[in-house]
């Protein structure tokens, strides 16, 4: 069949987009069923948005990846759930509101409306009937409910300790929110501050979080490595040293108990609690206090860096090595962090590089207790650095001659038999500091009573509503502490006077379970209907940035396991597959972000070029996992292809209804027709494979090749021609 080209026909994208978006809405095309076929369902999820402003091209890329997959799964006949919502509490929204002198509630509500309209305008196919907004009471009621369940199980607790403090945002930061010693939000140097905080005992789940990484077969390897290293399980021994002239024990964790006879000093973190119990006297006390202030002004990154300029101060105190009775000097040293073990480490200068540098600097004895092997012996006079590998134990009494794991086991077994040590597993992962001294967050549902202590708010009194106050700016303590009619309450246990906890929760607490609520978003009787949630979960594909690897992507696994333990879920991992898309950068190569002021609005692009061209350009510019350098040049090539090549093909289509499942035999077609038919089937296969691997740029390239080879004047078979045209449109459609 011959078709005359109409490449000069105007591509009126605004009329086309308006028509189809209205039809999608009227047909409720993207509304997911409540009870899908569990064997034929597909849950497509992208990380929801901070409504601290309208969406930019970085968001656009994230969302269209998920949208393309969701649409293709619908074309395959799957029941598809593709919801969206808003991570509306937290610093980004509050800081943006303060900057503009607007209340966070009003700022957030307006941004949600603007961003929702933007997403609808750019053609993202979400089931908006399931929308959640974390700052609305119907959502955070259940965030508070989860907190209370954790409190009842002993997983939510309050304690005093040194925390990461952002002096700019005037609030505590979780370890995961500190990057290279700076606040990940505002890039301010993070300080250490001693204060009472709420924590979630994520360490109780450390083994499961680590072991179950092996089950995440379709997660990126680099992300899994980051989580393994962040959780950081290490096997070793805990040995009880005794403080001289006291009964005070100083438990020390070590992965190298085979070096125990080489301990010549103990290094204690400046913020470690043990320092308060050492009864440091005289001039030593003044020097220690002065040193603590100086050391704690440094970031953890600076303190733990492997350099030769480590410093410290002697406390004047000693501990006794239980293996040989030797006196061990106790030093305060900045390279030890309080979060590791008990905040004190045994120092073996001959076999640890930092200890070696420290001992050399302060003329502390160095004792060799490991030789590389029985033939190779170390000479202290020739050592320029520590020998840190395993080897043969020497100068170690009855353990001389033992090697490797056998040495470690027997040294630790001896400590257990003598009741001064034990086998021990340690984790780098620390409990999650969850309370924030800011206004715009989920209120902590705890009442503090002088008689009863900490009392959870009763379920029928949830949610604890966040009051709308005029003075919400950060003060270094929670602004809610000054709201008398909020703070002052009656204890639900004894009826006496009590006070609410004034802090709010880290916004990550809200984002750790939102994907579950989508399934039953309007349930006001329970957090969700378990049967509905279990039918849709786990998420089949989760799309978001790798920047969340050791934050949200650990927290949402933790919450899932906790809710599984409550019997609410029948799965322990939230997502079967995780995909980390590359960032979108400006023409200078800087990542687009609202804080940098270098964002490009998708709406500006859509209004000028249309949704389809914009999506094609974003997909075609780079593989989905790679960075995109966004510029006008990104659009030109695909625009020519779509407008000059694809649109004329459809414009000339005779709009029949061909049998798309018909397989042509070679005898039905001439040579040119057979060649293009083979090319068509190869392209369909390539596009499907590209979608499966989320390589949309190669899918577009394959269609481009097909369109290039498609010569309608050479095709006499009407059904074949119609099939080619419709399949091109189908492959381009997602």
Q: Which of 409, 427, 445 is the last residue of a domain?
A: 427
* Residue corresponding to tokens 């990104």: 634
DSSP state of 403: B
Let me know: does 319 contact 246? Beta carbons within 8 Å: no
Residues 470 and 533 in one domain: no
Query: For residue 405, what are the contacts with CB-CB under 8 A and spacing of at least 6?
Result: none
User: What pLDDT is recorded for position 444?
Assistant: 98
Residues 295 and 389 in one domain: yes
User: What pLDDT is recorded for position 127?
Assistant: 97
Nearest Cα to 85, choosing from 132, 32, 124, 126?
A: 132
Q: Give one DSSP letter per residue of 625-676, joined into a string.
A: TS-EE--THHHHHHHHIIIIIIHHHHHT-------TTPPPPGGGS-HHHHHH
Q: State the residue range of the domain holding 250.
A: 233-427
Residues 173 and 288 in one domain: no
User: What pLDDT is recorded for position 577?
Assistant: 98
* Residue corresponding to tokens 């333990």: 565
Share of the chain above pLDDT 70, in %: 96
Per the domain annotation, does 276 fall within a domain?
yes
Phi then psi for 707, rounded to 5 degrees? -65, -40
Per the domain annotation, does 696 fall within a domain?
yes
Residues 416 and 446 in one domain: no
pLDDT per position as a tens digit, 390-432: 999 999 999 999 999 999 999 999 999 999 999 999 999 999 9
CATH number of the domain within which 386 lies:
3.90.740.10
Alpha-helix residue ranges (DSSP H) falling in 388-491? 404-417, 484-487
User: What pLDDT is recorded for position 60?
Assistant: 86
CATH number of the domain within which 728 lies:
1.10.730.10
Out of 25-39, 189-203, 214-228, which region has the weakest mean confidence (pLDDT)?
189-203
Q: Which of 395, 427, 459 is the last residue of a domain?
A: 427
Residues 421 and 452 in one domain: no
Q: Give one DSSP letter per residue of 437-451, joined into a string.
A: SSSSSPBP-EEEETT
Let me know: does 343 contact 271? Beta carbons within 8 Å: yes
Per the domain annotation, does 628 fall within a domain?
no
pLDDT at 7 over 80: no
Q: Which of 564, 599, 615 is the last residue of a domain?
A: 615
Strand, helix or coil for residue 465: coil
In this prediction, residue 301 has a pLDDT band, given cuts at 50, 70 and 90, of low
Residues 326 and 400 in one domain: yes
Whole-angstrom Cα distance, residue 534 to residue 214? Answer: 22
Higher-pLDDT residue of 176, 131: 131
Per the domain annotation, does 208 fall within a domain?
no
Let me know: does 386 contact 352? Beta carbons within 8 Å: yes
CATH number of the domain within which 527 lies:
3.40.50.620
Residues 398 and 501 in one domain: no
Nearest Cα to 634, choosing from 60, 228, 18, 134?
A: 60
Query: For residue 482, what are the contacts with CB-CB under 8 A and spacing of at least 6?
Result: 471
Over the chain, what is the mean pLDDT?
A: 90
pLDDT per position as a tens digit, 234-258: 999 999 999 998 889 999 999 999 9
Query: For residue 357, what are the contacts with CB-CB under 8 A and spacing of at least 6?
Result: 307, 308, 310
Residues 260 and 402 in one domain: yes
Element (H, E) at 227: helix 221-231
pLDDT per position as a tens digit, 85-97: 999 999 888 888 8
């Amino acid at each position: 069949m011959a078709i005359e080209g109409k490449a000069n026909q105007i591509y009126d994208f605004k009329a086309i987009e308006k028509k189809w978006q209205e039809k999608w809405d009227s047909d409720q095309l993207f509304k997911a069923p409540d009870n899908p076929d569990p064997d034929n369902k597909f849950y497509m999820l992208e990380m929801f948005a901070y409504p601290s402003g309208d969406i930019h091209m970085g968001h656009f890329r994230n969302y269209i990846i998920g949208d393309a997959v969701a649409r293709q799964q619908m074309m395959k006949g799957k029941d598809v759930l593709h919801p969206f919502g808003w991570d509306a509490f937290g610093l980004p929204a509050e800081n943006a509101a303060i900057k503009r002198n607007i209340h966070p509630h009003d700022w957030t509500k307006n941004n949600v409306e603007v961003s929702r309209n933007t997403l609808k305008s750019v053609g993202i196919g979400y089931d908006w009937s399931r929308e959640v907004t974390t700052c609305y009471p119907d959502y955070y009621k259940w965030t508070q409910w989860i907190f209370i369940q954790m409190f009842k199980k002993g997983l939510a607790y309050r304690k005093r300790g040194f925390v990461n403090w952002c002096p700019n945002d005037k609030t505590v930061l979780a370890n995961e929110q500190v990057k290279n010693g700076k606040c990940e939000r505002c890039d301010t140097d993070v300080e250490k501050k001693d204060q009472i905080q709420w924590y979630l005992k994520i360490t109780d789940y450390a083994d499961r979080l680590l072991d179950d990484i092996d089950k995440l077969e379709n997660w990126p390897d680099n992300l899994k490595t980051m989580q393994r290293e962040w959780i950081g399980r290490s096997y070793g021994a805990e040995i009880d040293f005794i403080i001289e002239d006291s009964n005070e024990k100083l438990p020390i964790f070590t992965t190298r108990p085979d070096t125990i006879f080489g301990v010549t000093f103990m290094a204690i973190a400046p913020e470690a609690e043990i320092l308060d119990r050492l009864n440091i006297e005289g001039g030593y006390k003044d020097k220690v206090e002065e040193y603590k202030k100086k050391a704690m002004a440094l970031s953890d990154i600076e303190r733990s860096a492997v350099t030769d300029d480590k410093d410290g101060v002697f406390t004047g105190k000693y501990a006794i090595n239980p293996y040989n009775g030797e006196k061990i000097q106790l030093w305060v040293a900045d390279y030890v962090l309080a979060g590791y073990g008990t905040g004190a480490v045994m120092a073996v200068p001959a076999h640890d590089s930092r200890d070696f540098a420290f001992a050399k600097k302060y003329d502390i004895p160095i004792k060799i207790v490991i030789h590389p092997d029985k033939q190779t012996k170390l000479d202290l006079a020739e050592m320029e650095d520590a020998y840190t590998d395993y080897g043969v134990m020497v100068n170690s009494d009855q353990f001389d001659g033992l090697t490797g794991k056998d040495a470690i086991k027997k040294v630790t077994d001896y400590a257990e038999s003598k009741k001064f040590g034990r086998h021990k597993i340690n984790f780098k992962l620390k409990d999650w500091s969850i309370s924030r001294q800011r206004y715009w967050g989920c209120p902590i549902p705890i009442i503090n009573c002088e008689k009863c202590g900490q009392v959870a708010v009763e379920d029928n009194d949830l949610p604890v509503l966040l009051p709308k106050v005029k003075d919400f700016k950060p003060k270094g303590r929670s602004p809610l502490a000054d709201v008398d009619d909020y703070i002052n309450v009656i204890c639900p246990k004894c009826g006496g006077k009590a006070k609410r906890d004034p802090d709010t929760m880290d916004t990550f607490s809200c984002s750790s379970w939102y994907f579950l609520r989508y399934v039953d978003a309007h349930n006001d009787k329970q957090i969700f209907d378990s049967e509905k949630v279990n039918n849709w979960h786990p998420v089949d594909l989760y799309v978001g940035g790798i920047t969340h690897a050791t934050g949200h992507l650990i927290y949402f696994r933790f919450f899932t396991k906790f809710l599984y333990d409550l019997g609410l879920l029948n799965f322990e991992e939230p997502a079967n597959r995780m995909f980390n898309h590359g960032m979108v950068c400006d023409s200078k190569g800087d990542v687009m972000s609202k804080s940098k002021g270098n964002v490009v609005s998708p709406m500006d692009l859509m209004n000028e070029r249309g949704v389809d061209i914009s999506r094609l350009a974003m997909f075609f510019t780079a593989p989905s996992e790679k960075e995109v350098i966004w510029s006008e040049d990104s659009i030109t090539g695909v625009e020519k292809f779509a407008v000059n090549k694809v649109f004329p093909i459809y414009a000339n289509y005779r709009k029949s209804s061909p049998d798309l499942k018909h397989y042509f035999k070679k005898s039905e077609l001439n040579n040119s027709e057979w060649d293009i038919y083979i090319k068509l089937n190869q392209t369909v296969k390539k596009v499907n494979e590209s979608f499966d691997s989320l390589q949309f740029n190669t899918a577009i390239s394959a269609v481009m090749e097909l369109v290039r080879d498609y010569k309608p004047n050479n095709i006499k078979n009407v059904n074949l021609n119609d099939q080619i045209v419709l399949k091109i449109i189908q492959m381009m459609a997602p």
